[in-house]
């Protein structure tokens, strides 16, 4: 009680004396002496504002606040390593490592994109939409990590391997990571070069690819936890696709001719990169040893045996072509030429692959 009284006394002494009304500063006079704040540098997150130019984007963000699922609540006990052969386990681990090259880069890629949208002062819902994509991608990355750790604890690289196919799988993964690292460098170095609207066309391609892939995997997979994961990830990817389409509908009509030409190049680059998981890695960009493809095919067969819904090469080609044509149908009416993609028999403008334009991601 004594302490309380002392505190009250102290507080009273510290309080400034009340301002007399006639002493209160006159705002008009105060304004006359106000100094302007220094100007702000370019590409800074300040000044801030919270404008909404595309209300539909805010609605999508609202629907993404709760994605409706969580990787830690999936029935992971239905993935039973003890019921699989060693090679089947390596094959499942391998496939998720391959997927991770695309999906596990998502959190880092979109986190950088979030910062970029702040620096380029995009409208509030664009910043928030990217943030929600980064959060979703963290869930997708977690699924890859959990699946890998169940079938190959410590994997895909730091796991004790007992068979030749397992060794080959690890070697393939190391090559995939090598290419993933090259992708990451290209992404980091090119992000700041492009206006945000153009980035969205690249992201769109990634989302078209991923929603196609996960839909197919969901239908074919027999292992309950992975089937459910693919269904949920597919839903997220469809939402990301919706975000990209909404932004592009707004910005494409005003895009300059030069930017449109750049989009054509980026689509070609995106096709080469994304073919690594949607189809087969093309010679361009992908630096892979001669053992890569035969190993990849053996592992796919093993993973399929174990219940993972990997589509056949023919099905993948058909699916990928369908997704690409969907992309073409969206892009062309806006006066953007689609690149020729002879690898899957799609006509268009002959476009050289430019490794500095690698932006797409799941």
Q: List contacts with Fe ion (CB under 5 A).
A: 103, 106, 137, 140, 237, 240, 362
Cα–Cα nearest to 327, from 240, 204, 143, 242: 204
CA–CA gap between residue 248 and residue 330 (Å, rounded): 10
Q: Closer CB to Fe ion, residue 94 or residue 203?
A: 203
Shortest distance in whole angstroms from residue 361 CB to Fe ion: 7
Q: Closer CB to Fe ion, residue 168 or residue 324?
A: 324
Q: Closer CB to Fe ion, residue 166 or residue 216?
A: 216
For the chain, the maximum distance between any two Cα atoms, rounded to a whole number of angstroms, is 90
Shortest distance in whole angstroms from residue 214 CB to Fe ion: 8
How big is the CA angle at 226 (ends 220 and 232), to the nearest 5 degrees?
A: 95
Count each helix (H run) and each strand (E run) in the chain, helices first. 12, 0
Shortest distance in whole angstroms from residue 234 CB to Fe ion: 9
Shortest distance in whole angstroms from residue 287 CB to Fe ion: 24
Q: Closer CB to Fe ion, residue 84 or residue 247?
A: 247
Shortest distance in whole angstroms from residue 258 CB to Fe ion: 28
Give Rg (Cα) of the chain.
26
Shortest distance in whole angstroms from residue 8 CB to Fe ion: 58
Q: Closer CB to Fe ion, residue 137 or residue 300?
A: 137
Shortest distance in whole angstroms from residue 302 CB to Fe ion: 24
Chain position carrying tokens 């999906």: 103
Instruction: Using CA atoms of 307, 308, 312, 313 in order, give the dihedral in degrees to the nearest 10.
Output: -150
Shortest distance in whole angstroms from residue 239 CB to Fe ion: 8
What number of other Cβ atoms are within 10 A of residue 102's Cβ? 26
Q: Closer CB to Fe ion, residue 285 or residue 362?
A: 362
CA–CA gap between residue 132 and residue 237 (Å, rounded): 11
Evaluate the omega torsion of the peptide bond into residue 47 and state whether it is cis, within 30 degrees of 0: yes
- Would you list the DSSP string of 41-105? PSS-SPSP----S-HHHHHHHHHHSS-S--GGGS-GGGS-GGGS-HHHHHHHHHHHHHHHHHHTT
Return all residues near 345 (Cβ < 8 A) that are at least 6 apart. Answer: 321
Q: Closer CB to Fe ion, residue 87 or residue 237?
A: 237
Q: Closer CB to Fe ion, residue 123 or residue 137?
A: 137
Shortest distance in whole angstroms from residue 61 CB to Fe ion: 15
CA–CA gap between residue 241 and residue 209 (Å, rounded): 10
Q: Closer CB to Fe ion, residue 90 or residue 205?
A: 205
CA–CA gap between residue 84 and residue 305 (Å, rounded): 10
CA–CA gap between residue 8 and residue 143 (Å, rounded): 57
**CA 323 from centroid of its chain's CA atoms:** 18
């Amino acid at each position: 009680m004594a302490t309380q009284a002392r505190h009250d006394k102290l507080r009273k002494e510290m309080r400034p004396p009340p301002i007399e009304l006639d002493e209160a500063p006159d705002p008009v006079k105060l304004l006359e002496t106000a100094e302007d704040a220094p100007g702000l540098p370019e590409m800074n997150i300040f000044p801030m504002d919270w404008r909404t130019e595309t209300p539909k984007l805010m609605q999508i963000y609202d629907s993404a606040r709760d994605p409706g699922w969580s990787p830690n609540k999936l029935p992971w006990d239905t993935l039973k390593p003890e019921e699989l052969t060693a090679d089947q386990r390596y094959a499942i681990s391998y496939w998720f490592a391959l997927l991770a090259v695309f999906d596990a880069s998502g959190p880092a890629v979109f986190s950088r994109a979030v910062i970029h949208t702040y620096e380029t002062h995009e409208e509030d819902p664009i910043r928030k939409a990217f943030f929600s994509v980064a959060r979703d991608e963290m869930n997708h990355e977690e699924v890859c990590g959990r699946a890998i750790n169940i079938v190959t604890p410590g994997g895909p690289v730091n796991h004790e391997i007992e068979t030749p196919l397992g060794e080959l799988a690890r070697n393939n993964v190391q090559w995939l990571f090598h290419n993933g690292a090259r992708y990451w460098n290209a992404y980091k170095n090119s992000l700041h070069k492009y206006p945000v609207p153009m980035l969205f066309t690249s992201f769109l391609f990634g989302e078209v690819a991923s929603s196609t892939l996960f839909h197919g995997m969901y239908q074919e997979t027999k292992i309950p936890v992975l089937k459910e994961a693919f269904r949920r990830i597919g839903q997220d990817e469809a939402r990301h696709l919706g975000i990209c389409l909404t932004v592009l509908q707004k910005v494409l009509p005003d895009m300059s001719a030069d930017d449109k030409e750049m989009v054509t190049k980026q689509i070609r680059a995106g096709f080469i990169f994304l073919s690594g998981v949607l189809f087969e890695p093309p010679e361009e960009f992908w630096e892979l040893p001669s053992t890569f493809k035969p190993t990849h095919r053996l592992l796919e067969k093993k993973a399929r045996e174990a219940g993972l819904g990997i589509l056949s090469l023919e099905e993948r080609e058909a699916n990928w072509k369908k997704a690409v044509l969907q992309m073409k149908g969206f892009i062309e009416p806006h006066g953007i030429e689609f690149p020729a993609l002879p690898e899957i028999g799609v006509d268009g403008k002959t476009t050289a692959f430019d490794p500095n334009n690698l932006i797409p991601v799941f």
